[in-house]
Structure 1
Amino acid sequence: MQKKSCVAVILALVFSLGLALSAHAEPIVVKFSHVVAENTPKGKMANKFRDLVAEQMGDKVVVEVYPNSQLFNDNAVLEALLLGDVQLAAPALSKFQKYTDVLQLYDLPFLFKDMEAVECFQQGPFGKKMLKSMMDKGVLGLGYLHNGLKQLSANSPLRVPADAAGKKFRIMTSDVLAAQFEAVDAIPLKKPFSEVFTLLQTKAIDGQENTWSNIYSKKFYEVQPYITESNHGLLDYLVVTSAEFWNGLPEDVAAGLESALAEALEYGNAESFALSEEQKQMIIDSGRTEIIELTPEERALWVEAMKPVWDEFAPAIGQDNIDAAVACNK
């Protein structure tokens, strides 16, 4: 009887050990939700990250990428992140308004001269400090991803600010972007990215602002007869995670994910400029829309009309942050 009891104990221990090993072998699943197509800079970066993690971390971590708002749009994904329904997201910088004021800097019109200035600021001390600006809300920034500078599209030509008066423009959820369009007497409407094509197609709105790659990949150019090459604002993304999730990872896993993400972001940012130029040319070649190039005098009118928005939001953003951004315009 005693012998049987010992055997039973040993079998129980072996069974428990097997369960523990089995549980340990379960991979950590990282769901990465985003709203754009896979052929955009963000889509390519997310897939690159997934592949790098598979190559470098084996069975420890599995990254699942959900593009095109398959799981959540950008207005819902941050709440989903904090609830643990997804582990990574890359919303546009405009989407963080209710979590921090400082990231509103990136929506200020005509703040950055070009993408080199953007890179200068983001990789400098002020830009890096912003990554942790939402820690008190449980959101941790892991890195910036470029999409590029925004253009204006509309049902009628936009050459001077007066041309925008009275027209309805879709914007992201951002008070700065609302103020930007109100500065030229236009009507800003906060709508999800996934609805923009239909809103344009049905003429429920008159226009929108976006980068060349988004205008091309979402076929906005097919339902917008005019695109003004304004380069008036920035559309970049912030890859974020839940601080609780990230801090709960084993150190080696967190380090591996951080390394893979840094490589994926470098790849995505390198792709961004080339893709933007390539898809701009594809839009031109399609013949579906007219590209309007502003003269220096016309551009100056837009700058003059929109620049007061800087002063309006400086108290919330911090004048020191704005000054640091301006200093990057070499």
Structure 2
Amino acid sequence: MRWYSIGLVLALGAAGGAAAQCDPGEERIRFSHVTAETGHPKGEAALLLAQRINEDLDGRACMEVYPRSSLFNDDDVLPAMLRGEVEMAAPSLSKFGAYTSQLQVFDLPFLFEDILAVEEFQYSPEGAALKLSMEGEGLIGLEFWHNGMKQFSANRPLQMPGDAEGLVFRIQPSAVLDAQMQALGAEGVPMPFSAVYDALEAGEVDAQENTWSNIYTQSFHTVQDGVTESNHGIIDYLVVTSADWWNGLDAGLRDDIAQILLEVTHERNRFAFELGELNKIRVRQDGSTIRALSEEERAAWVAALAPVWDQFRGEIGDDLIAAAERAEGGI
């Protein structure tokens, strides 16, 4: 699998403007997300998707992108989508717990070796089927978008699992992530992505877990003691839409949007890893301490969090977990 250079990421990072003035007769597609518009894998992918739709489908469809929770945050966007107030979004996979238990597989700690293992699983029959796991709830998943592997940070060094004991971590609303923090002797507090920096700065929470791109673009590292490169989980997104809206589109237009989305997904997912590595460099250049884990230290974290797998094995399903375990990485 080919990965592109950081220089190319930077060169293509500023795709054209995402907003569009829809003409009469065009299908208006509002895309809501919570991250930075540029310099972040999701923001960059949304920009390119809008550019492609607004150019290739001019006269038939137009897309407007609303970044940084300017339309809805990830906690509100799915109910809004079911009400017809937004057409597309790309929430983190942890945000779908109210609609399906199967996507919880992505929250299991230390399941995937790296982002290539994640992608291999997502393109397996078992992984691809997850996109339709919420159709009965009125939602259809279209494509998986990458962000990257998660790292821990706190207001004190985190080198061994015991270092997390007693800390309050911001987490996404996920029963698996809550159980993960309990296994560490910590407390997990769900809160919107847009509120995390202020909560860390004010000391309302002590710690968080996120990707290099999220950490850098939201400046989390500037209000933490350092970052532990744990690679203990992933943050990926599912581009999702309302089943009613999607199935109600003209078949030809629906196929064209799906093809453009597929092409954008392949292109931008190639950049997510490189962009994460670039943002890791930026975190270090800002003066933050990045702590690596030795093999023994990593094994201690794996052992501490192993009970989480057993706790959710019944909900997620042994077959699905086994399919994810079979995926091989190798960046």
TM-score by length of 1: 0.91
Offset of residue 264 of structure 1:
1.3
Q: How does 1:35-74 map to 2 (within 5 A)?
A: 35-39=34-38, 40-74=40-74
Task: Give, as a single letter, the amino acid of the residue that structure 1 aligns with 2:150.
Answer: K
Q: C-alpha distance in 1, partners of 2:165/2:113? A: 25
Quote the Cα distance in structure 2 between the aligned partners of 1:329 and 1:56.
36
**Aligned AA (1:310):** W
Structure 1: runs of 5 or more not aligned: 1-23
Q: Does 1:26 align with 2:28?
A: no
- For 1:183, the equivalent position in structure 2 comes to 183
1:227 aligns with 2:224: no
- Which letter maps to 1:308? P
Look up the SS of the partner of 2:290 in the other structure: strand
> Is residue 25–residue 60 contact of structure 1 (8 Å, CA) maintained in 2?
no
Say which one has the larger Rg. 1
Q: CA offset at residue 38 of structure 1?
A: 1.1
SS in 2 for 1:131: helix
Question: What's the counterpart of residue 320 of structure 2?
Answer: 321
- Root-mean-square deviation over aligned CA pairs: 1.0
Q: Can you give the 5+ residue segments of structure 2 that lack an aligned partner in the other structure? A: 1-22
Q: Distance in 1 between matches of 2:46 and 2:266?
A: 12
* Percent sequence identity over aligned pairs: 47
Give distance in 1, aligned partners of 2:282 and 2:116.
24
How do 1:301-316 and structure 2 match up within 5 A?
Answer: 301-316=300-315
Distance 2:79 2:234 in 1: 24
Superposed, 1:247-326 pairs within 5 Å as 247-287=247-287, 289-326=288-325
Measure how far apart 1:316 and its partner are: 0.7
Asked if residue 242 in structure 1 is aligned to residue 228 in structure 2, the reply is: no
Shift of 1:25: 4.8
Q: Residue 152 of structure 1 contacts residue 228 of structure 1 at CA under 8 Å; is this kept in 2?
A: yes
How many Å separate the matches in 1 of 2:56 and 2:310?
A: 47
Query: Given residue 85 of structure 1, which amino acid in structure 2 is its aligned partner?
Result: E
Structure richer in helix, relative to its length: 1
- How high is the TM-score relative to the length of structure 2? 0.91
Looking at structure 2, the residues matched to 138 and 241 of structure 1 have their Cα atoms a distance apart, in angstroms, of 9
Cα shift at 1:329: 3.1
Instruction: Indicate the residue corresponding to 2:198 in structure 1.
Output: 198
The residue that corresponds to 1:119 in the other structure is: 119
Q: Which runs of 4+ in 1 moved over 4 A?
A: none
* Equivalent-residue separation in structure 1 for 2:119 and 2:233 (angstroms): 14
Cα distance in 2, alignment partners of residues 268 and 93 from structure 1:
18
Hey, what's the Cα distance between the residues in 2 that align with 1:241 and 1:225?
39
CA deviation map 1:214-273 (0-9, x unaligned): 000001111112100000001000000000000000011101110111111112211101
Q: Which residue of 2 aligns with 1:145?
A: 145
